[in-house]
Amino acid sequence: MTGEFHPPARILMGPGPSNVDPRVLLAMAKPMVGHLDPEFIRIMNNLQDLLRQVFGTKNPLTLPISGTGSAGMEAAFVNVVEPGDRVLVCIKGVFGERMADVAERCGAHLRTISAPWGEVFDLEAIQKELRGFQPKVLAIVHAETSTGVLQPLEELPAILKNNPDTLLLVDTVTSLGGHPVKVDEWGIDICYSGTQKCLSSPPGLAPITFSPKAADKIKKRSQKVQSFYFDMNILGKYWGSERTYHHTAPISMNYALLEALRIIGEEGLAPRHERHRRNHLALVQGIEAMGLSMLVPEPYRLWSLNAVSIPQGIDDPKLRKKLLDEYNLEIGGGLGALKGKIWRVGLMGYSSSEANVLYFLTALEQALREQGFEVPRGAGAIAAKEFFSKGK
């Protein structure tokens, strides 16, 4: 147990973490400063400005929570839900289920509605529940990583018009940085994400933003937030003008996120989204040319997470092990009801590249052929290459 430690340099095309730009890894090697150092406070201000840009918001209360995406989820619920508050959670996959679990632990008066896994919510169904249940919080996942579904949110403000007291809480862990997310325009009150998916920073921080309406509700709570660590009434002061100590910020994680957000700023949000869209479309062309199919119907597919149906007779764990062992390539398997039924192929942030699309399709073809599934030679990569060459 001596000498330098060398983890393998994988190609990460699963449901996260995604690969990280070397610039971001190097940022973590920069000198430590104190969490109240004036230089770190400047870094915090820059981070908050850049997070507001990617979230599409002017919300003052915008910051990275110390913890992974699930910590963002906890922070969202524990702050705005008091025991007995009516909370409506929309479930169409694993992360909607997790939201309901978290809301229940907050003592919410919980109601859930469900859509089949692999499908989106019909907004009329949500509207009907809103009318009858009059929830304090409506919670929904934008990009459901367990199914590859993108839930359109543009229409939600219109649907919430008759519920002025309802806070809209949205999980954008797998969309932020890969798909457009417009917190202010879509009337989102609480929005959280994670660093290791389309933002392509290592796991460890959860960007979150609260609208003035949500911030007001937190300030006027009748009971203390049950979590000290996530209490925005205290944490907000460290990230606000008072800078009072709450917990020691994970300095290097914040360096990494700052560098990742600077890279996003250099690329531009719109070109970044377009890159994710194109690489996704090329992957779909390749998958279909190989005689495979996508789980999710056309307009609702995530660009960042591609759910590919596993053909009959294929040994899923064996195939994924082969990709990892022989191609150094990680993809994800299905979760819950979709276990053994789909592969989850991530094209997130730094991992969303033309080369990765071609490499995955080529490796998959070999792995399928070795299990006796016949694919026309090179079909997937050829179709994807044709797609790429068209747009140039």
Ligand X SMILES: *Cc1c(COP(=O)(O)O)cnc(C)c1O
Q: Which positions lie near ligand X, rule CB under 6 A? A: 16, 68-70, 73, 95, 141, 143, 145, 171, 173-174, 194, 203
For 70-87, b/e burial (b = at least 16 CB within 10 A) is: ebbbbbbbbbbbbeebbb
Task: Find the distance separating the first CA and the last CA of the chain, reported in whole Å.
Answer: 50
Residue 215 CB, shortest distance to ligand X, in Å, is 22
Tokens representing residue 119 in the block: 């499908």
CA dist 310 and 73 (Å) reads 31
Closer of 74 and 82 to ligand X (Cβ): 74
CB of 171 or CB of 365, closer to ligand X:
171
Tell me the C-alpha to C-alpha distance, in Å, between residue 276 and each of 113, 263, 304, 336, 365. 30, 15, 7, 26, 23
Q: Which residue is nearest to ligand X (CB)?
A: 69
Residue 354: helix, strand or coil by DSSP?
Answer: helix
d(CA 134, CA 128): 10
Q: Least distance from C-beta 382 to ligand X, angstroms?
A: 32
Least Å distance between CB 93 and ligand X?
8
Q: Is the dihedral of CA 54, 60, 66, 69 positive or negative?
A: negative
CB of 168 to ligand X, least distance (A): 16
Min CB(115)–ligand X separation in Å: 15
- Cβ atoms within 10 Å of 292's Cβ, excluding its own: 20
CA pair distance 272, 256, nearest whole angstrom: 19
Q: Toward ligand X, which CB reaches closer, 180 or 203?
A: 203
| Residue that the structure tokens 């944490």 belong to | 235
Distance, CA of 219 to chain centre: 28
Shortest reach from residue 280's CB to ligand X, in Å: 16
Q: Which residues contact 133 (CB under 8 A, 6 or more apart)?
A: 86, 88, 111
CA distances from 124 to 118, 137, 158, 160 (A): 18, 17, 11, 11
Q: Structure tokens of 104?
A: 């229940």
- Taking the complex as a whole, the smallest distance from the CB of residue 68 to ligand X amounts, in Å, to 3
What tokens appear for 308 in the block? 């590919």
CB 378, min distance to ligand X, A: 33
Residue with smaller CB distance to ligand X, 133 or 300:
300
Q: How many residues does the chain have?
A: 392
| Contact predicate 167/217, CB 8 Å | yes
Q: Which is nearer to ligand X, 257 or 292 (CB)?
A: 257
Counting beta carbons within 10 angstroms of the beta carbon of residue 2, is it exposed (0 to 12), middle (13 to 18) or buried (19 or more)? exposed
For residue 79, give the 3-state DSSP assignment. Answer: helix
Give the nearer residue to ligand X in terms of CB position, either 203 or 291: 203
Which CB atom, from 142 or from 322, has the smaller least distance to ligand X?
142
Nearer to ligand X, 261 or 292 (CB): 261
Question: In the complex, what is the shortest distance from the CB of residue 130 to ligand X, in angstroms, rounded to a whole number?
Answer: 22
By C-beta, is 346 or 380 nearer to ligand X?
346
Q: Which of 145/279 has CB closer to ligand X? A: 145
CB of 24 to ligand X, least distance (A): 16
